Structure 1
Amino acid sequence: MEDVTRPDPRQSAALSAALSGAVDLSALKARADAAQQQSRRPAASAPGAAGATGGQSSWIIDVTEATFQADVVERSLQVPVVVDLWADWCGPCKQLSPVLERAAQAGGGAWVLAKVDVDANPRIAQLFGVQSIPTVVAIAGGQPIDAFSGALPEPEIKQWIARLLDALRDRLPGIRAAEQNAQGTEPEPEPEDPRFVAAEEALERGDYAAAEAAYQQILDAEPGNELARNALAQARFLARAEAAKPEDIERANAAPDDVDAQLAAADAELAGQLVDAAFNRLIDTIRRTSGSDRDRVREHLVGLFELFPPDDPEVAKARRNLASALF
């Protein structure tokens, strides 16, 4: 791996484009989880949480393969995490790192600087496909969103970070909270929507019909309300899951042409965390059916998809299989 003294703008742009949406940061999760269980290391859950090493502030942290999940991926759900990939033998890294550290200190927790020694943690460098160092990658919401390589001048670093914060301020709650705290003001809590409060209270007492009606009422007034749409899917599934039984799966296996049995079995499998089995069962049923039966199964499957984040890998695979079954 080579070091670079000045970045090639084309290389930085290509690196940023290659990283965007193309890096699976969960690759180190299993290793990180195992190491954390062994060491009983607490996960950092919010900006400003303890976790700095070597006397650095909690906004400047040394990250390893074992701590990557907690210190980078999980923190990036609240504030951007800027990953500085460096090595002790890299001259430009020694120019860039102090600049990033000063900027992180000045940010007051609006973003976190995660320093990664690539010699000690080669899998992290491989994860990002790093060809030269220093390389800097911005992570937000658990995914890489921007990157550059080379030792940029301090004014350009500040501009890059400012653009990053401006683009993410409305998406990551920790940015605005840190900025308000830095100004000596507490963030004002968002007022609770009484419609959602009523629906959630119905869910808590197990009145799924009332919760479904409440969420549907919100959607009738606001068809684009994704929070209500997802909550409605959850309420409907919880009502079905409460009635689901393990024997539903055996009954469906014995009667592959019974559509109602297949729908009930898929709910039972999903309630038992057998996600792939539930999806595959309904896709196989779609292949065997036609007309209104096929439409019922497809709608049921799409409703199950709504229980998961849009970028869930199992949902993405099932959507591809569904398209193949339909067309």
Structure 2
Amino acid sequence: MSQQPFSRPGAVDLSGLAGTPAAGGAAAAPTGSSYAVRLTEQNFQETIEASMTAPVLLVFYSPSRMPESEALARDMETLSGEFEGRFLVGLVDIDAVPAIAQAMQIPSVPLVVAVIDGRPAPLLQDVLPIDQLRTQLTQVAQQLTANGIAGRHQPRHLGGAEGEDAGPGADPRYAAAQDALGEGDIDRAIAEYQKLVDANPADAEAAAGLAMARILQRTAGVDLAAARAAAAASPDDVEAQTLVADLDLLGGHVDDAFNRLVDLVRRTSGDERDRAREHLVDLFGAVGNDDSRVLRGRQNLASALF
């Protein structure tokens, strides 16, 4: 399933679950990741409230009804550690805690729901290979950064019981840039990401963050309707077309952004064509070179050039 842009529907009323005894009276079992927790009716509400700090990804699965969904839950648990607090993964076995699935009105499993500021939005409903899942989550992290959502969860546990001291928190390398984005200081965020890229050109997260921050800088204060009207009136104007491509990318319309610039490359020549191509390559970097849409976009760009 292709990733959809974040939406923010109204918050689900989950207050009825708070303090309800868990099935069998057991507490949530710790997981193997510091950023994942197995949910019960007892800890569900506090996990949702944690989404006010940073996003929570609820993974609904059923070992009995769909064994493959349990593999997705395991992979999400594994990946939660790799993202070092950008997400807290809440694992919901709907066989063990059916009340949570009922409260969330879960239609089927597997299902991954992103919760931001207490508001849920469907994210994934397929079992994906872990590499593809990692790519999807990387894109989500990039979109969050682009929208100024830079918080991180503190580790929940470290190889022991929940709440045990986990030691140092999230990787501090990106903290300065993410703090700047959270404060709306895009210029400072660009400077901080640039330092990271200069120090380590192979740092893909820093490079993607830099590219996204530059998109935010280019689109700051832009009137979307006016930009689209200008692009429609001047289909070969590189500046007008690249601006709308930036806006499309920020809005989650990745293929639209890529296709717009591929078509522009086909229609232009000389310096204008180079500018369109270079801008498209920058957008590839913002999304991530392993993304299937980027791979497809690169193929389309090569076709347009040759």
**Contact 2:248–2:254 (8 Å) recurs in 1:** yes
Deviation at 1:280, TM superposition (A): 1.1
TM-score (norm 1): 0.49
One-letter amino acid of the counterpart of residue 293, structure 2: E
One-letter amino acid of the counterpart of residue 254, structure 2: V
1:211 to 175, 189, 213: 189
Task: Provide the residue aligned with 2:233 in structure 1.
Answer: 254
One-letter amino acid of the counterpart of residue 186, structure 2: Y
Secondary structure of the corresponding residue to residue 78 of structure 2:
coil
Matched, 1:73 2:63: no
1:243 to 209, 221, 224: 221
1:311–1:223 distance in 2 versus 1, CA, 3 Å:
closer
Deviation at 1:139, TM superposition (A): 5.6
Secondary structure of the corresponding residue to residue 78 of structure 1:
helix
User: In 2, Cα distance between the equivalents of 1:234 and 1:322?
Assistant: 21
Matched, 1:317 2:296: yes
- Could you list the per-position Cα deviations for residues 291-327 of structure 1 after superposition, in whole angstroms to 9, with x for gaps in the alignment? 2222211121121122324343332322211111112
Rg comparison, structure with higher value: 1
1:202–1:313 distance in 2 versus 1, CA, 3 Å:
same
Deviation at 1:63, TM superposition (A): 4.9
- Could you list the per-position Cα deviations for residues 182-218 of structure 1 after superposition, in whole angstroms to 9, with x for gaps in the alignment? 7x9754334642x532222211121111111111112
**Contact 1:263–1:282 (8 Å) recurs in 2:** yes
TM-score (norm 2): 0.52
Task: Provide the residue aligned with 1:62 in structure 2.
Answer: 63
1:285–1:252 distance in 2 versus 1, CA, 3 Å:
same
**Contact 2:158–2:165 (8 Å) recurs in 1:** no
1:75–1:191 distance in 2 versus 1, CA, 3 Å:
closer
Deviation at 1:75, TM superposition (A): 4.0
**Contact 1:72–1:139 (8 Å) recurs in 2:** no
Query: After superposition, where does 1:5-154 map in structure 2 within 5 Å?
Result: 26=1, 46=36, 48-50=38-40, 62-64=63-65, 71-79=70-78, 140-141=130-131
User: In 2, Cα distance between the equivalents of 1:48 and 1:235?
Assistant: 34
Task: Provide the residue aligned with 1:105 in structure 2.
Answer: none
User: In 2, Cα distance between the equivalents of 1:61 and 1:274?
Assistant: 32
1:205–1:143 distance in 2 versus 1, CA, 3 Å:
closer
Structure with more helix by fraction = 1
**Contact 1:266–1:281 (8 Å) recurs in 2:** yes
**Contact 2:207–2:286 (8 Å) recurs in 1:** no
User: In 1, Cα distance between the equivalents of 2:68 and 2:271?
Assistant: 48
Task: Provide the residue aligned with 1:284 in structure 2.
Answer: 263
1:61–1:225 distance in 2 versus 1, CA, 3 Å:
same
Q: Identity of paired residues, percent?
A: 38
User: In 2, Cα distance between the equivalents of 1:230 and 1:324?
Assistant: 25
One-letter amino acid of the counterpart of residue 205, structure 1: E
Matched, 1:228 2:233: no
Task: Provide the residue aligned with 1:173 in structure 2.
Answer: none
Aligned length: 201
**Contact 2:231–2:244 (8 Å) recurs in 1:** yes
One-letter amino acid of the counterpart of residue 245, structure 2: A
**Contact 2:158–2:166 (8 Å) recurs in 1:** no
Query: After superposition, where does 1:136-215 map in structure 2 within 5 Å?
Result: 140-141=130-131, 180-181=159-160, 186-190=165-169, 192-193=171-172, 196-215=174-193
User: In 2, Cα distance between the equivalents of 1:249 and 1:138?
Assistant: 35
One-letter amino acid of the counterpart of residue 248, structure 2: E
**Contact 2:157–2:164 (8 Å) recurs in 1:** no
User: In 1, Cα distance between the equivalents of 2:185 and 2:225?
Assistant: 23
